Amino acid sequence: MARACSNGQRDGRSNLDVLSAVSRVCPALSPAIHRQYPVPLHQLVGRLVVVLWQLGGLSLTLVVQGGSEDRAVQRRLGKRLLHTLTGLGPCFIKLGQSLSTRPDLVQRDWLEQLTRLQDDLPAFDHGKALATIQSELGAPAEQLFATFPDHPVAAASLGQVYKAKLLDGRWVAVKVQRPDLEPRLRLDLAVIRLLAQLSGPFLPLNLGDDLTAIVDEFGQTLFREIDYELEADNAERFAQLFETDPTVVVPEVERVLSSRRVLTTTWLAGVKLQNREVLERNQLDPTTLVRAGVISGLRQLLEFGYFHADPHPGNLFALSGGPNGFGRLGYVDFGMMDMLSNDDRLTLTDAVVHLINKDFRALGHDFVRLGFLQPGTNLEPLVPALESVLGGQLGDSVQDFNFKTITDRFSELMFEYPFRVPARFALIIRAVVSQEGLALRLEPEFSIIRVAYPYVAKRLLAADTEELRHKLLDVLFDRQGRLQLERLENLLEVVGTDGNPADLIPVAGAGLKLMVGKEGHGLRQRLLLALVRDGRLHTDDIQALAALVRRRFSPARLAGDWWQQLSL
How much is the pLDDT for 210?
63
What is the chain's alpha carbon radius of gyration, rounded to the nearest angstrom? 26
The H or E element that residue 319 is part of is: strand 316-319
| SS3 labels along 147-184 | ECCCCCCEECCCEEEEEEECCCCCEEEEEEECCCHHHH
What is the distance in angstroms between the CA of the first residue and the CA of the last residue of the chain? 59
Q: For 62-116, how does the pLDDT look when each residue is reduced to its tens digit (9 = 90+)?
A: 888 888 888 888 888 889 998 998 888 888 888 787 676 555 556 777 877 877 7
User: What's the pLDDT at 496?
Assistant: 63
Residues 6+ apart with CB under 8 A from 277: none
Q: What are the backbone angles phi and psi of residue 163, rounded to the nearest 5°?
A: -100, 110
Mean pLDDT on 198-212 = 61
pLDDT at 32: 38
Total residue length of the chain = 568
159-162: long-range contacts (C-beta < 8 A, 24 or more apart)? 160/123, 160/124, 160/129, 161/119, 162/129
The residue with greater pLDDT, 84 or 200, is 84
CA distance 377 to 418: 8
Q: Dihedral sign, CA of 265, 266, 267, 269?
A: negative
Give the C-alpha separation, 541 to 477, whole Å: 12
Q: What is the largest CA-CA distance in the chain?
A: 85
Q: What is the pLDDT of residues 411-466, one digit of tens each?
A: 566 666 777 777 778 778 778 877 877 888 888 777 777 777 778 777 777 767 77
pLDDT in the model for residue 162: 97
- pLDDT tens-digit profile of 272-296? 887 889 999 999 999 899 889 989 9
pTM: 0.76
Angle, vertex CA 413, rays to CA 411 and CA 416, nearest 5? 120
d(CA 339, CA 427): 10
Q: For residue 561, what pLDDT is reported?
A: 55
Give the span between the Cα atoms of 343 and 355, in whole angstroms. 18
What integer pLDDT is reported at residue 388 of this predicted model? 78
**Residue 227: what are its φ and ψ, rounded to 5°?**
-100, 95
The lowest-confidence range among 274-278, 333-337, 522-526 is: 522-526
Tell me how far CA of residue 499 lies from CA of 18, 124, 236, 399, 502, in angstroms.
54, 47, 32, 10, 9
Q: How confident is the model at residue 498 (pLDDT cuts 50, 70, 90)?
A: low
Amino acid type, 465 = T
Contacts of 451 (CB under 8 A, 6+ apart): 291, 294, 295, 298
Please determine, for residue 6, whether its predicted confidence score (pLDDT) is greater than 50.
Answer: no
Active site residues: 310
Domain with CATH 3.30.200.20 in the chain: 120-179+227-267
Please give the Cα distance from 96 to 365 (Å, whole number).
34
pLDDT band at 176 (very low <50, low <70, confident <90, very high): very high
Q: How far apart are CA 494 and CA 477, in angstroms?
A: 19
On the question of pLDDT at 522 being above 90, the answer is no
Q: What is residue 417's three-state secondary structure? A: coil
pLDDT at 124: 93
Do residues 91 and 158 lie in contact, with contact meaning Cβ atoms separated by under 8 Å? no
Strands 262-266, 248-249: pairing kind? unpaired
Q: Is the pLDDT of residue 318 over 90?
A: yes
pLDDT at 7: 38
Q: Evaluate if residue 177 carries a pLDDT over 70.
A: yes
Which CATH code of 3.30.200.20, 3.40.50.300, 3.20.20.370, 3.40.640.10 fits the domain covering 120-179+227-267? 3.30.200.20
